[in-house]
Amino acid sequence: MTTDMDDKSARGEREQLILRAAMKVFTRKGFHKARMADIATEANVSYGLAYHYFESKDALFDSIQAWWWERLFKRLDEIALFRKPVSEKLEAIVAYLLDLYHEEPELVHVFITEMSRSSQTLTVESLNNFKRFIGSVDTMISLAQKKKQIRTDVRSRYLTYMFLGGLETVVSSMVLERQPLDNSQARDRLLKGVLDVFLTGALGRTSA
């Protein structure tokens, strides 16, 4: 899996340091209870330096969001180009999230706890990102419907919700209980599980 770390190291080292410290503190205390002082301390950096790199606490949070969405959309765009059945595309999405959780647990944590809900941070812009995210998956699914790869008697939008909702909840349960995903077998089992349940349902193929 390609990593976007490349452009990260291009950014100021200190900036990265602060960004990562912020993610840690947001993970630990949540956005609102996190104080800039905590972030600076976590980064072993003076109070003012955080403001040297980021205009405000909100701007810092926005940078994290931007980072998240940038990576995600980049990967989604790659996946959309796959010349493979929808099942493999969806599998790649699940894999992306699980692997990112392994690499950057704090980033995923912040996404789950601070971005994905929390009306406080739901600006018009972030709502648009969500719409683009959902829309992107929706496109894959409705394409699959056209190719008769999956059922057509349910609107693609609902299939999308069920897929993303299930995926998010599985990830959430790991995030909130801070379960590491260091075991690649566990990762594969989860991967297959999510996908299989989504595709064949709780009844499974035996329903035939």
Contact positions toward a copy of itself, by CB under 8 A? 27, 29-33, 109, 112-114, 116-120, 122, 127, 141, 150-151, 153-155, 158-159, 161-170, 172-173, 176, 190, 193-194, 196-208
CA 40 to chain centre: 25
Taking the complex as a whole, how short is the minimal distance between the CB of residue 5 and DNA, in angstroms?
Answer: 19
In b/e form, how buried is each residue of 83-94, taking b as 16+ CB within 10 angstroms?
Answer: eeebeebbbbbb
Taking the complex as a whole, how short is the minimal distance between the CB of residue 125 and DNA, in angstroms?
Answer: 17
Residue 10's Cβ-count burial label (10 Å; 0-12, 13-18, 19+) is exposed
For the segment 20-49, give every residue that binds DNA (CB under 7 A). Answer: 33-37, 45-49
For the segment 49-78, give every residue that binds DNA (CB under 7 A). Answer: 49, 51-53, 55-58
Contact 189, 195 (CB under 8 A): no
143 binds, among a copy of itself, DNA, none (CB under 5 to 8 A by kind): none
Taking the complex as a whole, how short is the minimal distance between the CB of residue 61 and DNA, in angstroms?
Answer: 10
Radius of gyration of the chain (CA): 19
* Binding-site string for DNA from residue 138 to residue 157, where x marks contact by CB under 7 A and - marks none: --------------------
Taking the complex as a whole, how short is the minimal distance between the CB of residue 141 and a copy of itself, in angstroms?
Answer: 8
Question: CA 175, CA 138: separation in Å to the nearest integer?
Answer: 25
Taking the complex as a whole, how short is the minimal distance between the CB of residue 2 and a copy of itself, in angstroms?
Answer: 28
Question: CA 129, CA 135: separation in Å to the nearest integer?
Answer: 10
Question: CA 136, CA 138: separation in Å to the nearest integer?
Answer: 5
Contact positions vs DNA (CB under 7 A): 12, 14, 33-37, 45-49, 51-53, 55-58
